[in-house]
Amino acid sequence: MDELEIPGGISQVILYHGTSSNFRDGILLMGLKPRNQTENSVYEGNLISNGELVYLARREVAEGAADLALEKFGGERMVVQVQVQVDVNNLTEDEDVKKIWGSTGWKESLRLNGTCAYKGQVNPIKQLVIYNGESYTDIKEIVSPP
């Protein structure tokens, strides 16, 4: 996919994280923290997710994750836009991709599954988008950190 071709000299990429608006203030203050620091996860399955990672995705996949967060934690659906360093030491494939296709790297993970993961806490947050309870096309609130 062309959008995953990272030209030389590009050092950052925009990705998304779907969650509940109940976590809005903490995310604005502290960024996105791995599950081993928050104990929050919407994943349900046989494959155990890595507690040291923050899961990031294409926007449409993050919107689906926000639906799961709404069901589990209440609040409203929220998608967080982040800017992360293009760095093989921090970005990695999602465990689901690794289990099915083997070690692919983060770009191939995004292409195959729409997801990848970031090792550690994610900062800076570029924007939070909170949607109304019915549609992703209707935005209730857009917040950019100070």
* Rounded-to-integer distance, Cα 102 and Cα 79, Å: 28
Summarised one tens digit per residue, pLDDT across range 98-118 is 888 888 888 888 888 899 999
Summarised one tens digit per residue, pLDDT across range 7-62 is 666 778 899 999 999 999 999 998 998 877 556 555 555 556 677 889 999 999 99
* Rounded-to-integer distance, Cα 110 and Cα 117, Å: 9
Does residue 65 register a pLDDT over 80? yes
Q: Where do we find the tokens 């994280």?
A: 17
CA distances to 3, 53, 54 from 34, in Å: 26, 5, 5
Q: Where do we find the tokens 């062309």?
A: 2
pLDDT on residue 140: 92
- CB of 124 closer than 8 Å to CB of 83: yes
Domain boundaries, position 104: 2-143
Does residue 2 register a pLDDT over 50? no
CA distances to 47, 77, 87, 91, 118 from 19, in Å: 20, 6, 24, 20, 16
> What is the domain count for the chain?
1
